[in-house]
Amino acid sequence: MQRYIYQSDLHAFLRHNLPPAFPPAMTPHLSYAIDCNLFHERNTNMVFYLWLNNYREFWFFPIAFTYIYVQGYFWDGEKWVGSYVKREMIYAFF
């Protein structure tokens, strides 16, 4: 299927090469979360809120996906820190 040349790309508008200075001020509720099976390679370079199986939750900026890990930056409350998360640990995302 050919894409219309003047069609806007919402994902391109939302994508950044580096995480923003700060994550969004709001903290989403788990009731608005999306199933972790939909968190995949096309979700790079955008800010997401992750809930893990061990009850941790944080803002995350993924930059690369592998079969086992998702590499990116997580917000520790003061700054973005580079790290990775095992895919099997992700419960849901927003």
Dump pLDDT digits (tens) for 55-73. 999 999 999 999 999 999 9
Structural domain includes residue 64? yes
Structural domain includes residue 16? no
Structural domain includes residue 3? no
Structural domain includes residue 21? no
Q: In total, how many domains does the chain have? A: 1
Closest CA to 61 of 74, 51, 50, 42: 74
Confidence of residue 1 (pLDDT cuts 50, 70, 90): very low
Structural domain includes residue 78? yes
Structural domain includes residue 22? no
- The pTM (predicted TM-score) of the whole model is 0.80
Structural domain includes residue 34? yes
The whole domain housing 43 covers 28-93
Question: How many helices, marked H, and strands, marked E, lie in the chain?
Answer: 1, 6
Structural domain includes residue 4? no
Query: Exposure string (b/e) for 52-62, b if CB count within 10 Å is 16 or more?
Result: beeeebbbbbb
